[in-house]
Amino acid sequence: MATSLGTASLTSQTNLLQASEDRVLHRINSAQSSTDEAKIEKGSKEFEAMLLASWMQQAEKSMATVPGAEDDEDAAGNEQMMSLGVQSVATSLAASGGIGIGRMIAHAMTAMAEKNAAQNHVQQQDAGKDDSTR
């Protein structure tokens, strides 16, 4: 009888420890997921801004040359200012929602992050079960 009480007590303690560990992991994952979402959102907006800037620079170059226009002596400075302007406009466009590419990327990356987190959680549980059976 004493052995069965000792085993039940040990099983109960193991279950309590496992539940406590799961709560701590859940809190850690929740904190990580909020920072991960912010990183994903920021990265997707930056990517969209770079993509828009590239497209706008190509469009500006193809439309900027007007036949009969005078060549400026400060063409390099003008080109640099136009590049900064295009980047600024592209960043503003992306920050205000852009054309939707950033949202699509953020959605896909968030789904991947959630899938990876779920797989990691399952693997951790499986590893915990393996350790408890030994």
Residues 6+ apart with CB under 8 A from 27: none
Q: Which alpha helices (H) appear in the chain, and where do they start and end?
A: 2-64, 75-95, 101-133
- pLDDT of 59 strictly over 70: yes
The more confidently predicted of residues 65 and 62 is 62
**Mean pLDDT value of segment 32-50:** 83
- How would residue 83 be classed by pLDDT, with cut points 50, 70 and 90? confident
**Mean pLDDT value of segment 26-45:** 75
> Where along the chain do its domains lie?
36-58+80-134
- How would residue 65 be classed by pLDDT, with cut points 50, 70 and 90? low
Average pLDDT value over all residues in the chain: 76
The more confidently predicted of residues 66 and 114 is 114
Question: pTM of the predicted model, to two decimals?
Answer: 0.58
Q: List Cα–Cα distances, 32 to 29, 66, 121, 123, 130, in angstroms.
A: 5, 53, 13, 18, 26
The per-residue pLDDT for 37 is: 83
